[in-house]
Amino acid sequence: MLEQRLPGRLAWLAALIALSAFPALAAPRRYALPEPTAELRPPADGAHAAGFASAQAHCMICHSVDYIAMQPPGKGAAFWESEVTKMVKVYGAPIAEAQAKAIAAYLSAQY
């Protein structure tokens, strides 16, 4: 009985060894990731570093950065000031006046 099965087992073993000779078949897949969209854009101008830091600390407490990134580009200072004011006054974002100003300035420069 055993003698009859042995050739079959040897064939499997030979197939396994043959397959392992092709490491490409076992190599990990690689994917190129898209630009990260879950982070705020770093400020192009160093003057907005404080606003950027405050935005990072406060603007993703309740929702993702997508809410900011989804807005049409170039809306300007008035739009971002009123957005930040709305977050504070209507939704209760815990942001001090001076920080709110810096955040709005950073956002209007970068978005």
9 vs 63, beta carbon nearer ligand HEC: 63
47 vs 91, beta carbon nearer ligand HEC: 91
103 vs 105, beta carbon nearer ligand HEC: 103
Minimal distance in Å, beta carbon 65 to ligand HEC? 9
Where helices occur in 21-96 by DSSP H, the ranges are 49-58, 66-69, 77-89
Minimal distance in Å, beta carbon 51 to ligand HEC? 10
How many CA atoms within 13 Å lie on the side-chain side of 90? 6
Q: Write out the residues near ligand HEC by the rule CB under 6 A.
A: 55, 58-59, 61-63, 67-68, 71, 83-84, 86-87, 91-93, 95, 103, 107
Look at residues 93, 99, 108 and name the one whose alpha carbon lies nearest to residue 60.
Answer: 93
Asked if residue 108 lies in contact with residue 76, where contact means CB atoms within 8 angstroms, the answer is yes
